[in-house]
Structure 1
């Protein structure tokens, strides 16, 4: 469990660094950037997703990350946990069986765990898929659900544009199309954490329609969880707070 809140030190806000093209390898949320994000909530409310129970909170362990610097970064544990929440909601919305949805969500929680840094980091999806394959029992014990072959395929392809697939990757996508497309959509919806609006979700890059409820809900998850973390909460506490705020029982 991550317990120490990131120290701002003399670090410039991510927003300022992004605007000037000076983003570092390891990027952490700050109050100024989050305030800018919070003021730009996507328009439209839409119907809230309905589930018979709240989505499970699936948080990857810090030890699963390839670099300790990434566990609390913008691609770290909270990002993985939010993507897992969004995937469960999207899966339910599309009528996917709960057990299958949980398996996909377990993979979603870990999809960025083998990143080396917060830039493009080509190949991190394949590395995460290989790590999942070697650690299925570890993930199942910690998250309560073992990733399945379709989950591993979705993780392996999540970081690649559709038009960049090799022939083998295109065949894997056709075999597990729904899982791949769902993870890509859930991952894209958490882009509201990024410090430039041009990096936020782009429906044109996705293969599934975006439900009306999804953009404002995804934005709220980012704002509530990151604000709680900046205020000193652990990652688990921050995510519990965000779920209660966004999806009250």
Structure 2
């Protein structure tokens, strides 16, 4: 790719429910700017290998990075210490019990690999609507009667697009992710989309694949 091609302008979205081809994304993975966070556009994005990621003070930014970080459910890595935690009854998992609390915690609990928050008030409203329509699931981790961790993501029926996770105590989010992977493996899901790499996800078996391979898997129904 030459410099002129790299400097092509990023597409601005209008009201039409469409995205440019994924190979038009910048080197960083930025594909388009603008549009809205309607249920229809969000589902089209996820089914096409695209996700929104932006701050409160910017327009909506749509991304499709290459490579892509994914976790194949059957390949999740569980350390010996986590194996003990998984079986000692310290944590309890529920599903779709308190989605709003999970997304609120994800927005407010800081993480070393993602300073600040990208879960804006508009993003919360959009994903709450997706949740109400059955396209988003939350997994809650409890220690006694206190919510101490969890995650949420968009469920495409054969791919789970993980959006965010949080922990208030050590290993709570790992517990949620392992239980999620176990459930998806039993249902023959293709993969968990982790979007971008983090040391935490890599330590649990997530790996980078090319965008082309990712889209091929995304389009392949089980």
TM-score by length of 2: 0.35
**Relative to total residues, which structure has the larger strand share, 1 or 2?**
2
